[in-house]
Structure 1
Amino acid sequence: MPGRVEGKVALVTGGASGLGAASVRMLVREGAKVAITDLNEAGGQALAKELGEATRFWRLDVTREEDWSSVVDAVLATFGRLDVVVNNAGIGIVKDVETLSLQEWRLVHAVNLDGVFLGCKHGIRGMRQCGARGSIINVSSVAGLVGVASFPAYSSSKGGVRLLSKSVALHCAQKGYGIRCNSIHPVYVDTPMVDALASASGASAAVAKEKMAKSIPIGRLGHPDEVAYAIVFLASDESSLMTGSEVVLDGGATAM
């Protein structure tokens, strides 16, 4: 029985660890070839070695347009097509609006929002070279739907990803491209990034993660595979009617 994304080629940013690595593994399991991209060369190369010939690793700084241009060209030359872009790379800084510096604000937006803009722009370019069909999946956050006092830059950037995704979806539809664009909004997921946020909170990491879990109505953190399943769905033809939409994976957080 063919996989859910059999024959497709996907590019995943921040693919060396956390949600990115979980998504890479699941996309490969469901039949895709995957370009793993990250600044973490050791982690990315190790994952590519683990998963074999269905993957390749490229170093990509998502804030640099020249990196995007060369990596998308390399993916097309290596795999012959590009069907899916997962804009997953992101960072967060735990500082409130009074203590956050302008430099820190700009850094978070450069990675979380500029990087997604460039991924959409060059993803569309790559997809247009092989039939103008595909799926762009932008990883936002529950913090892109509601404000968070302790990390306003992260929340602002992720809110921007939500509306950028809708704008890209409408652009592609109006141009007649068969390219869809949707955003995913997870709550806290048990990943190295959440570990870093917990460690920066001022309390012990374990206490901070317990507090995070208690803030979620179902009472636990998310698992990376729970997000990866949603990414596979949006990458597959199962979601062919979805564009400009949000997939909210929040354990009930936004129901309150």
Structure 2
Amino acid sequence: MTSTAQVLPDYLSPGLRIVFVGTAVGDASARRGHYYAGPNNVFWPLLHETGIVAARLGPEDDARINDFGIGLTDLVKDVHASADSELAEETLHAGVRKLVAKLRKFAPDVVCFNGMNAYTAFKGRRPPQFGLTDDRIGASRVFVVPSTSGRVSSARRFDGRTRRQWFAELSKLGRGADRPTPPLPASANAGRVGQREASPVTLHEELATILGRRGNRWMSTSELAELVNSRGRYRKRDGSPVTAFQVHGRTRKYTDLFERDGSRVRLIRP
């Protein structure tokens, strides 16, 4: 076990669908400087394969995970270890207090513990089974998935299900909670009438969500188009990708929602 100031930063923000909580950063992730970067760790593939995120992401994408409505943190932030058994009990207790404060502050829809060890260290007891628990952290529901560590066999079953099946259950629970950060004006809601978009959200709603999640900084229409396509929440009926030109046209239409500066866009705040 090695101690340092903070092994990896928290990737947390308000309005997230799911925040994943590990016990502590593994040695391989600490060396690479990214979450779940150990050999054969299946965390990132499972996010995409089970529909939690539409894009194929990897450890190097962890800094932009909030764009997809997902957050990352650990119970213990100032050490990394090759195994959970290396963590001292007092270290775990201190981590619990800090974790609860963070989760109450950001209030995700679901807190998901990555591994039974992470949940047991947090709660002090093992839940009856994997999946949704009876616990709440503030307003957040609590879910437990089997550890994604490469040390765990992909063929192993946990309470009768594979890791992939538990992630699929989590995906259902976290679906539909990714909503626009700012309130939309009446003209934006009126755009739903007769819409020809094959999505649960309109393009301007998705653009508003992305801008709100990124602190409403100026973003280019190309950046916005790329994020809309990678998030996968808005899809055109013909299946073609959203273009910068389409973002330009949509933001130009909703002048009471978006502020424009050439090819750059941000939200108009009241």
Q: TM-score, normalised by structure 1?
A: 0.31
Q: Which has the higher helix share?
A: 1
Q: TM-score, normalised by structure 2?
A: 0.29
